[in-house]
Amino acid sequence: MGIFDKLRNELIDIIEFLDNTQDTIVHRFERYNNEIKNNAKLIVREGQTAVFVNEGQIADTFSPGTYTLNTQNLPILTTLKGWKYGFNSPFKAEVYFVNTKNFIDQKWGTKNAIILNDNRFGMVEIRAFGTYAFKVTNAPVFIREIVGTNQTFTTENIKEQLKSIIVTRFSDATAESNLPVELYAANLNELSEAIFGFMRNDFIAYGMDVTKFLIENISMPDEVKKEIFELSRLDKIDLDKLMKMKAAKSMEAAAENPSGTAGMGIGLGAGMAMANQMTQAMGNQVQNQNTQATPPPIPGAVAYYVAINGQQLGPFDKVGLAKLAQDKTLTKESLVWKNGLADWASAGNQIDLQDLWAMTPPPLPKQD
């Protein structure tokens, strides 16, 4: 190899971007006056897209590979410049490298509390946080809508905008779910899936796609949690045994009165009277509970009424609802009601019914 061949090879212009960060989405390749030699080498690595911009207008895009830049593989740029028979070196263009990998473990959370209306607790404030992942799927759209003329664009530059989208969709989904506030923690997966579907179009408008979305926690004020815990205990406790236990403790405390035998007798008498009053009161409460016309639904079981042809049918459990969905009698537009709903609502808006449509097989393909 002669000395001139060696110099010629060393003067070959190489355009590439080696990313040593984990948060760079877009990097603009820098050259003096944006000049690029004719027949320069463009290297686009896996997980990258190269976008050429001419005078503010997106010209050409390149997927992963190695390219020699000339009029044959820069057709749009050549047309814009009017170079019908080739161009002289150097030529001017801005080159943006866009990372198309997944940007994982992005954090989101509610800055301010979200106010919801619960049927039993009234207006309740909740907060939530979690993680999500996204990637750029349309590099030209992302540059045009988000990046603009920035030399380097990172996840830090866009995270607040994405958080706003997520929190807005979270607020809408929780308000439309009609779930009792204490069931949010038990339905994090269902809420995550619903919000994931709602906000994908928002990301697509920016040339992006949200690839994963998770709610890690939904919290509420301590006083609301305390009320929920107390109601939960009342549902589980045998009230008759509880009151007898309290009466026995009252008698024991009265018997330990240091005033002597007379005091012990008074204590026993007071304890017995208190026990009788409490037992009688609890007996009346238990009797009132036992005289209910119909027992409450089994905890955790779905009991929905369905409006079919203008008539109220039901209640149906999950198996019955699945059969109605398979027969097309129950659709997402059908009106349903269950205990806790203020009014009849569309079945498609109930998070705990979403799997009914997944269980329904798609239509058979058309026969030729």
Q: Which of 33, 65, 99 is the last residue of a domain?
A: 99
Give the DSSP H/E element, type plus range, for residue 287.
helix 261-290
Contacts of 266 (CB under 8 A, 6+ apart): 254, 257, 259
The answer to the question of residue 247 being in a domain is yes
- Tell me the residue ranges of DSSP E strands in the chain: 14-15, 24-29, 35-36, 41-44, 48-54, 57-62, 65-68, 91-92, 94-99, 103-109, 114-118, 122-136, 152-154, 208-219, 304-308, 311-316, 335-337, 345-346
The verdict on 171 and 267 lying in the same domain is no
The verdict on 86 and 157 lying in the same domain is no
Q: Which two tokens stand for residue 25?
A: 């989405």
Q: Which CA distances in Å does 265 have to 243, 254, 271?
A: 22, 8, 10
The answer to the question of residue 308 being in a domain is yes
The verdict on 115 and 220 lying in the same domain is yes
The answer to the question of residue 348 being in a domain is yes
CATH of the domain at 143: 3.30.479.30
Predicted confidence at residue 243, as pLDDT, reads 64
The verdict on 313 and 286 lying in the same domain is no
Please say whether the beta carbons of 81 and 8 come within 8 A. no
- Digit-by-digit pLDDT tens for the chain (368 residues) are 444 344 344 445 789 999 888 899 999 988 766 677 778 899 999 999 999 988 778 888 999 999 988 766 676 665 555 554 455 556 778 899 999 999 999 999 988 888 877 777 778 888 899 999 999 999 999 999 888 778 899 999 999 999 999 998 888 888 777 777 777 777 888 888 888 888 888 999 999 999 999 999 888 878 777 776 676 566 555 556 556 666 776 777 777 765 554 444 444 454 455 555 555 655 555 455 554 455 555 655 678 899 988 889 889 888 888 888 888 889 989 999 998 888 899 988 888 888 887 765 666 676 65
| Domain with 349 in it | 304-359
The verdict on 133 and 164 lying in the same domain is yes
The answer to the question of residue 299 being in a domain is no
The verdict on 79 and 110 lying in the same domain is no
Q: Which of 99, 129, 151 is the last residue of a domain?
A: 99
Predicted confidence at residue 27, as pLDDT, reads 94
The verdict on 115 and 213 lying in the same domain is yes
CA distance 26 to 143: 8
The pair phi, psi for residue 316, each rounded to 5°, is -115, 140
The answer to the question of residue 231 being in a domain is no
How many folded domains does the chain comprise?
4
Specify the residue for token string 């010629």: 8
Greatest Cα-to-Cα distance within the chain, rounded to the nearest angstrom: 123
Please say whether the beta carbons of 178 and 341 come within 8 A. yes
Q: Which two tokens stand for residue 275?
A: 């026990």
CA torsion 158→161→167→171, rounded to 10°?
A: -150
CA distance 9 to 15: 15
The verdict on 173 and 218 lying in the same domain is yes
| Residue 202: strand, helix, or coil | helix
The verdict on 28 and 122 lying in the same domain is no
Strands 41-44 and 14-15: parallel
Give the DSSP H/E element, type plus range, for residue 189.
helix 188-204
Q: Encode 135-175 in three state secondary structure.
A: EECCHHHHHHHHHCCCCEEEHHHHHHHHHHHHHHHHHHHHH
Q: Which of 99, 123, 150 is the last residue of a domain?
A: 99
Q: Which two tokens stand for residue 131?
A: 């993680």
Residue 90 preceded by cis peptide, ω within 30? yes
Facing residues of 127 across strands?
219
CA distance 295 to 275: 29
The answer to the question of residue 234 being in a domain is no
